[in-house]
Structure 1
Amino acid sequence: MAKWGEGDPRWIVEERPDATNVNNWHWTEKNATPWSKERLHQLFQDFKIERNDIDCIVEGVDKCSGEATVNNRKGKLIFFYEWELVLKWSGCLLKNSKLSHKGKLTIPNLSEENDLDDVEITVTIDESNDESETLKQFMYNVGRDSIRKQLGVYIKELKEEYSKNLILPKKGAENNGPALADTQLRDANNAKNAAQKAATAAGGGTNSQTTTKTSNSGTNVGCKLDVRSLSMAEEFHCNANDLYNALTKPDMVTAFTRAPAKVDAVRGGEFVLYGGNVLGKFEELVPEKKIQQSWRLKNWASGHYSNVTIELEETSSSTMMTLKQTGIPASEYEAMRTNWHRYYWHSIKQTFGFGTSIADAL
């Protein structure tokens, strides 16, 4: 920590009347959902796709569900967006009957986890005949590329729009606006793992641990990591069986993570959450009592896993959950505890109503 007067902008509070969250250095979040919905509707309103004797048009957005947020944490911009879109389209063959045929374009997975080329776009038609099948093939081969370009416009504008004023200039850098904006946008473009943020967890003491990485020559080399440990407890107003199921049943995990989840809750079974950003396997399972996992984030050093042990103790009116996680890379340490609370425990309570006791609800 810099001493008072040394000029580190994180600690210069006398220049700001609120004296809190100086320069937006700590966690700051903006809701980009309303802006995103409006912009997506604009981008796909009467959007034409033409070539040779085929004339197609995306008439508008039939369904737009999801959310978008922008976070600043310690000078890093993190964009999170996840959308399911259904677009209405129509088209005709200009040299033939010129009858209009209608269909839909479904985009189930527009998110920061996927590159644009990997975004799935399904093309359907309302009625199948020779003309409509030709149009469908055109929309599949040509139209999808045009749709992806429009999605790229949305992503670019989202990052530009929500980079403004989220990271404030440091002391002495007030006149470096263009350079600061370039830095913000570069950080934003490199921050594709917000879902990983949703999965992070962490906490207390420090030690070192050796993991194995593969060098370019194909030989295994040891690599010492600075790792830390976390212990935490949380009360849930439900019985132990319900909480155990919430942590091990695929449909319940999908519900509280709000993303497809692979969960094979048997000893040695694998789990993959948050679009592949969290993965591992179950080491030990005792129904209603204990869950032990080898747990890692996708971007951790190859082969490195932390150990997560969750224990449940049912009382007369609730269930106490205790968690211990060891082997957390020090670089993930600060965000871990906050995000266990926010994206696991709070989300479970909110999704299943485990945050309110029956007595309180009456």
Structure 2
Amino acid sequence: MARWGEGDPRWIVEERPDAVNVNNWHWTEKDASKWSQEKLKELFIGQKISSDLALVKITDVDKLEGEAAINNRKGKLIFFYEWNMTLSWKGRLVGASDDYEGKIQIPNLSEENDLSEVEVLVTLKDSTPEGEVVKDFLHHQGCHNVRDKLGEYVRSLKEEFSKGMILPKKDSEEGKEKDQINCLSSGFSAKVQMNNVAKTASKKSAGGTFDTDTLNMSQTFQCMGEEFYRAMTTTDMISAFTTAPCVVEPKVGGKFELFNKNIYGEFVELVPDKKIVQKWRLKDWPENHFSTVKFVIEQQEDHTLVKITQTGIPKSELEVTKENWGRYYWDSIKRVFGWGYFM
């Protein structure tokens, strides 16, 4: 059964070797996570921080959790990165023979924070008077060196790794590519609320009887209600956050096909900027079985609240469905449109 989040290749939009992204119209995404991990380790491991007072060396990257990606949005690059790092250090006072060890924690490196706002927390393994002096040196001078290295990573991500993502347009020079790069950041945080309502029913299919459940979700977006409505009903915007071609007929009875036809259905009700109701199914669900998805869009003073109810989910698919609304819809919408989340 094709499940969201389990690496089903039918959900993955791959590069087509025979395709040409004419005038950069198609929305593409490039995963920068592995490259970023290698780049950050290269920048930090072996880095020396010294002065007339102390000499410190970064010996290892103990923890490096997070992800990074670049989206080509109609000729503009949108950068997304979020990392939680822990570095090991060893150092001594100049002229002394005793070494001291500790950690440097960087919990919030992301495009949402200016580098000056990135936390650099220094700890000492064994506290001694001389060790505290080394720690204090790192806390003051060392933090600037660490932020400089983080700045090198961000610049490399935007200038080195992103090369080739924006193709030269017809009658334009390849050298103009750099001028087209526009780094967009969301600047927001998010809180996704998902509550599973225990409503169970029995359905019959060609394969027999099965139980169904209902899923309730609510999501806050930093956008206008009409923008979210368009994101769920227009071909360009849906193709953007699903990173795949799609079919969308935004009218009652109109069909939609997403993720290479792995999700499909039809529109049951459309109230512009207010409500969307769909018959919705995953390709490998029991034959001819559709769930019903209802989006209620509530425009607030400074954001939009969307309440989603999905009824008729095969009970065996409930947890996977809940997880992947977040992964393939909400998280992707955040990254592509920059509408963000609230903490």
TM range (shorter): 0.5 to 0.7
1:343 has 2:329 as partner? yes
Equivalent residue for 2:311, pick from 288, 293, 313: 313
* SS of 2:141 mapped into structure 1: helix
Structure 1: 4+ residue segments shifted above 3 A:
16-21, 194-201, 226-237, 289-296, 303-307, 314-320, 343-347
Q: Which residue does 1:165 correspond to in 2?
A: 164
Letter in 1 for 2:68: A
Q: Which residue does 2:336 correspond to in 1?
A: none
1:180 has 2:209 as partner? no
- For 1:1-362, list aligned pairs within 5 A: 18=18, 21-95=21-95, 97-173=96-172, 175=173, 177-184=174-181, 187-188=182-183, 191-193=184-186, 201=228, 202-204=231-233, 230-232=276-278, 234=280, 294=298, 303-314=301-312, 317=315, 342-344=328-330
Structure 1, residues 161-195: CA drift from partner, whole Å, max 9, x if none?
2331111121111x2x33331222xx02xx12297
Letter in 2 for 1:136: K
TM, length-normalised to structure 2: 0.57
State, as a whole percentage, how many aligned pairs show the same letter: 39
CA contact (8 A) 1:103 1:123 kept: yes
CA contact (8 A) 2:275 2:296 kept: no
Q: Which runs of 5+ in 1 are unaligned?
A: 1-15, 207-225, 238-288, 297-302, 321-338, 348-362
What is the distance in 2 between the residues matched to 1:340 and 1:99?
Answer: 51
What is the distance in 2 between the residues matched to 1:170 and 1:163?
Answer: 16
> What root-mean-square deviation, in Å, do the aligned CA atoms of Structure 1 and Structure 2 show?
4.0
What is the distance in 2 between the residues matched to 1:141 and 1:79?
Answer: 30
TM, length-normalised to structure 1: 0.55
* SS of 2:45 mapped into structure 1: coil
User: Comparing 150-159 with 164-173, which one deviates more in the overlay?
Assistant: 164-173
Shift in alpha-carbon separation, 1:125–1:304, aligned structure 2, 3 A: closer
CA contact (8 A) 2:39 2:153 kept: yes
Q: What displacement does 1:294 show?
A: 4.6
CA contact (8 A) 2:24 2:166 kept: yes
What is the distance in 2 between the residues matched to 1:87 and 1:37?
Answer: 13
**Corresponding pairs, count:** 233
CA contact (8 A) 2:62 2:87 kept: yes
Q: What displacement does 1:143 show?
A: 0.7
Q: Which residue does 2:247 correspond to in 1?
A: none
CA contact (8 A) 1:80 1:194 kept: no
What is the distance in 1 between the residues matched to 2:102 and 2:279?
Answer: 51
CA contact (8 A) 2:102 2:123 kept: yes
Shift in alpha-carbon separation, 1:79–1:134, aligned structure 2, 3 A: same
Q: What displacement does 1:32 show?
A: 1.1
Q: Which residue does 1:209 correspond to in 2?
A: none
Letter in 1 for 2:178: A
Structure 1, residues 136-161: CA drift from partner, whole Å, max 9, x if none?
11111111111001000000001002
* SS of 2:143 mapped into structure 1: helix
CA contact (8 A) 1:25 1:167 kept: no
Letter in 1 for 2:138: M
Q: What displacement does 1:40 show?
A: 0.7
Shift in alpha-carbon separation, 1:151–1:317, aligned structure 2, 3 A: closer
What is the distance in 2 between the residues matched to 1:316 and 1:18?
Answer: 39
What is the distance in 1 between the residues matched to 2:297 and 2:48?
Answer: 51
What is the distance in 2 between the residues matched to 1:64 and 1:44?
Answer: 12
Q: What displacement does 1:44 show?
A: 0.6
Q: What displacement does 1:17 show?
A: 9.5
Larger relative CO (CA 8 A, sep 6+): 1 or 2? 2
